[in-house]
Structure 1
C-alpha cells in the first residue's frame, strides 16, 4: 500500500530486530500500552506467534526512500462483525509530528475497507495522546466513547477514548 510519502509492507521477520528498539523506548510505550523492557527473545517469540494470527494484519511503515519508521496494523479482526482495532506508532523519532502516522492510518483504513471488506475500524487512544487523537480525527475517525480510568500509567489512572470510522463514512485526507 502506497501513499504520497509512505509505503506499507507486510511486517516480516526482518523487522523484528528494529522494532525491539522501539518497544523498549519509553516515548513509544507511553502511547502504545505495552510494557518495557522486553528482552530480544520475548519480542521474537511474540512476533513469531502473532505473524501466524489470522485475526491480525501488521505492516511496516517505510518512507518513500526506504527507511523503516514505524508499524501499523489491525488486531482483533472480527470476521463476522467485520471490524478491527487499528494501532499505529512511529518509532523513529525523526519522523514524528510530520504527518506520516496520518498517511499510514489512511492507507490502512483503505486496505481494511477495500481489500478486507471490513465494515468498521476503531482505535483506542490514551487521553494524554493529543498527537494520536489529532491523527485519527484527521483521517475521519469520530469519538464513540470513553473508557474511564482504564489504564494505569506513571502512578495514576487514565481514560481511553474509543474512536471509529465506518466504511460509508470513510474519506480521504490526501
Structure 2
C-alpha cells in the first residue's frame, strides 16, 4: 500500500514570504518558472501584497509535514466564465521528486472545481520544463494553442505551452 503524502494547501500569509524570497533569489529557479524583473525585498513584499488583495487571485502555501515547501494558486479567476489559470512551484529543491508537486496540484484542481465551481483550469509552462509537462499529462491536462489572452507569456525567450483541464461531468 502506497503511503499517503501529508500535503496541504493553506492560504498564503506573511509568514510564508521570507522562505519564498529565498527561493526566488535562485537564478535556476527563476529561469525554470520564467520569472522576470529585478529581485528586491521591497518589490517582493509589494508583489505578494498586490496578489493577496487581488480578487481574481488566490494564493496558497504548500505544506508538507507542516513545513512550507512551495506555493501555488489561481489567477485570472473568473467565476462568470468558470475558468482560472493555475500555477505551482516547489521552492525547496530537497522536496523535489517526492510526489509533493503532484499532490499539491491535485488539491489545487479539486479546490478550483469543487470550491470555486470552475469548469476549466489552464496553465502555461516553458517547453524545457519537461518534468512539469509530464506531471500535467499524467493529470489529464491537454496541450492547446495559445490564444489572445496569453499575451503575458509572449517574448519569454522560449516556446510557451498552454495546457487545459476540463472538469469531468
Shared fold by TM > 0.5? yes
Question: Residues of 2 paired with 1:24 and 1:121: CA distance?
Answer: 28
How far 1:100 moved relative to its partner? Answer: 1.0
Matches within 5 A, 1:82-93: 82-93=82-93
SS at match of 2:77: strand
Structure with a larger share of its residues in strand: 1
In the TM superposition, residue 17 of structure 1 has moved relative to its aligned partner by 1.1
Alignment size in residue pairs: 161
CA positional deviation for 1:80: 1.4
Q: Which residue of 2 aligns with 1:141?
A: 141
- Partner of residue 40, structure 1: 41
SS at 1:19 equivalent: helix
Cα deviation code 1:67-110 (max 9, x no counterpart):
11100101111221110111111100001122211111110000
CA drift of 1:31 comes to 2.2
Asked if the contact 2:122–2:164 (Cα under 8 Å) also holds between the matched residues in 1, the reply is yes
SS class of match (2:56): coil
CA deviation profile, 1:15-73 (whole Å, cap 9, x unmatched): 1111011111122211222125411111111111211111001111111x211110010
Aligned-CA RMSD value: 1.8
TM-score (norm: length of structure 2): 0.88
Q: Runs ≥4 in structure 1, deviation > 6 angstroms?
A: none
C-alpha contact 1:97 1:131 (8 A) present in aligned 2 = no
Partner of 1:57 in structure 2? Answer: 58
Structure 2 unmatched ranges of 5 or more? 148-152
Aligned to 1:124: 124
Give me the TM-score of the superposition, normalised by structure 1. 0.86
Number of the residue aligned with 2:6:
5
